[in-house]
Structure 1
Amino acid sequence: MVDVNELFLFVLVVEAGSFNKAASIAGISTPALSKKISKLEKELSVQLLYRTTRKLSLSEAGETLYKHAKNINQQVNEAIGAVSNFSDKISGEIKLSVPTISGELLLAEIVAEFCQQHPDISVNIRLENEFADLVTEGLDLAIRTGNLENSTLIAKPLIVSHWIVCCSPDYIEQHGMPKKIDALLTHNCLAYTGQAKGSHDWRFEQNGQEQSIRISGNFATNNAQALRKAALAGYGIAYVPRCGVYEDLQNGKLIALLTDYKPRSLGVYAVYSYTRHLPTKIRLLIEHIKQGYQNKAEYF
């Protein structure tokens, strides 16, 4: 019988790209990890990995095994989670990193509610847009938007965040309303730099074709609330996550522009480090946060 733990470790080695990195994530020594993989190869009577001093590569058998085993960690965590409600009460501290927009909009309240429901749990929440290193910074969980480059992390989808181009009625009255994305070239566009890329390259889709335009303007910031206030004051056009300006759109303080174009959309994820058994307190917090997002789905 193949040890399921060895399959976990095999997948981790493949996604980490090295034994040293995988061993660090798994919390075991590199020689111990190497022995586990060698044992798995012996049990299966095939070579899974080609090892050189510079890199690892998969054999044909290794590629086949990885294809079938890469989701095993998630499946086992879900199976354990399905019965963990029967365990004793949870306790301890959770260190959490969240993006500023979601943190200010709903996550602070959602997390505080979770703490009230579980009085033996304390949550230390950090609001930041930079993707923190969960392992080195000792974080249990992060909420992040966009593509995740680190494949050794587990990402659970929460919701899809849609963006919107908007400005105040006063701005339109003074400068007119752009009907095509090319018209943005003649407008003062406010850049949101609190994203990994694309702050000055606004991307859209129309009739299945992707379009983008390089905008310019006299104001840029990495703070979504500062950008919102600049747009509300009539200083220019903003391209921001809809959740951050939803109420302003509803009450008419901001107006949606270029509605014939499909704006960008990004997935929102709960992200945590590889673990053989996801702690119950983390699983429950993820479920609570996901429900909180769903309760305000119209904002997104």
Structure 2
Amino acid sequence: MNLADRILLFHKVVETGSFSQAAERAGMTNSVVSKHIAQLEQHLGIQLLHRTTRKLKLTEEGRLFFRHAQDVDQSVANAINAITEFSSEPTGTLCLSVPTISGEYLITELVAEFCQQYPKLSVELRLEDHQVDLIAEGVDLAIRTASLPDSSLIAKLLVQSKWVVSASPDYLKKHGTPQVPQDLVNHNCLTYTYMETGTNDWLFKEEGQQYSMKVSGSISSNNQIALKNAALAGHGVIYTPKLLAHEGLKTGKLVELLADFSSKELPIYAVYPYSKYLPEKTRLLMDYIAQGYARKAALFH
């Protein structure tokens, strides 16, 4: 037992009026309880109790110490109640960092639904495509697309995200349709600056072999939605997650290109800093987001 445990045990002895009842509540023997109270008195350098065969009597110092021990006992009870209430009805704020595309097309709606289910919880939603330092920036949960070199993070796979090459019918009418990746050298390729393989390197495969194709174009951006909008307006070819191009492909405003050669597919994870005890509110949000990705998995393939 540490000092705090002995203070709580002393409170229990005085509250019950006997070593035997305190021992029963604590799951100890009388002799063990007596030993711990004696060690407490030795640590404090004062006598707290007068022991007789029939009853216990507090010394003057013991009465003063008991009043403070009551405060300790109440503080412990309050802490336990607070945690219990927190677990049964989550409260507080969560900080969530997500990629722009997932935020725009999926997660914002999921977070809004989640907050309706848990009205005492609020979520700070950060849309950002660069990888933030979760611990340094106080981020509770992040959605990340790509490999995860940071071993201090715990990851849960949400979905595999396929990437597609596409352009608008107007652009293809003016500039022709590439038939093989090498044809892209003659096209205006709108590039993404956070591309894992490099801004101007697009991944393809041929006869089972993967390779990168060096492309170039008039626009590069750290925002793929901006690139999609430029492609929709007929200004070039883009290589993006299928989720971003899905609506355009469905309506015919975009045309998928080089489908037999595209090889880019990246995992999307929910990640959080390593912790022995994952807060319940973080687990609830992560599970809700995972369910949302599962329902929309077809949009990523």
Structures share a fold, TM > 0.5?
yes
State the match for 1:24 in structure 2: none
- The Cα shift of 1:123 comes to 0.6
Alpha-carbon RMSD: 1.5
State the match for 2:181 in structure 1: 181
Q: Is the 8 A contact 1:165 1:257 kept in 2?
A: yes
Please give the residue correspondences for 1:1-300 in structure 2 after superposition, counting only pairs within 5 Å: 88-300=88-300
TM superposition score normalised by structure 2: 0.69
Q: Is the 8 A contact 2:185 2:215 kept in 1?
A: yes
TM superposition score normalised by structure 1: 0.70
Q: Higher mean Cα deviation, 161-170 or 259-268?
A: 259-268
Q: SS of 2:143's equivalent?
A: strand
CA displacement, residues 70-90 of structure 1 (integer Å, 9 cap, x when unaligned): xxxxxxxxxxxxxx9xx5221
Tell me, in whole angstroms, the C-alpha distance in 2 between the residues paired with 1:172 and 1:277. Answer: 54
* Runs of 4+ residues over 3 Å off in structure 1: 194-197
Q: Is the 8 A contact 2:167 2:256 kept in 1?
A: yes
Q: Is the 8 A contact 2:210 2:263 kept in 1?
A: no
Equivalent pairs counted in the alignment come to 216
- Letter of the 2:222 partner, please give it: N
Tell me, in whole angstroms, the C-alpha distance in 2 between the residues paired with 1:187 and 1:97. Answer: 35
Tell me, in whole angstroms, the C-alpha distance in 2 between the residues paired with 1:206 and 1:196. Answer: 20
Q: Is the 8 A contact 1:129 1:195 kept in 2?
A: no
Structure (1 or 2) with the larger CA radius of gyration: 2
Tell me, in whole angstroms, the C-alpha distance in 2 between the residues paired with 1:108 and 1:194. Answer: 22
- The Cα shift of 1:262 comes to 3.0
Structure 1: gaps of 5 or more residues: 1-83
Q: SS of 1:101's equivalent?
A: helix
CA displacement, residues 9-51 of structure 1 (integer Å, 9 cap, x when unaligned): xxxxxxxxxxxxxxxxxxxxxxxxxxxxxxxxxxxxxxxxxxx
- The Cα shift of 1:235 comes to 0.7
Tell me, in whole angstroms, the C-alpha distance in 2 between the residues paired with 1:226 and 1:190. Answer: 10
Q: SS of 1:263's equivalent?
A: coil
Q: SS of 2:88's equivalent?
A: coil
Structure 2: gaps of 5 or more residues: 1-83
CA displacement, residues 170-222 of structure 1 (integer Å, 9 cap, x when unaligned): 11111111111101111111101133442210011233210211001111111
- The Cα shift of 1:92 comes to 1.4
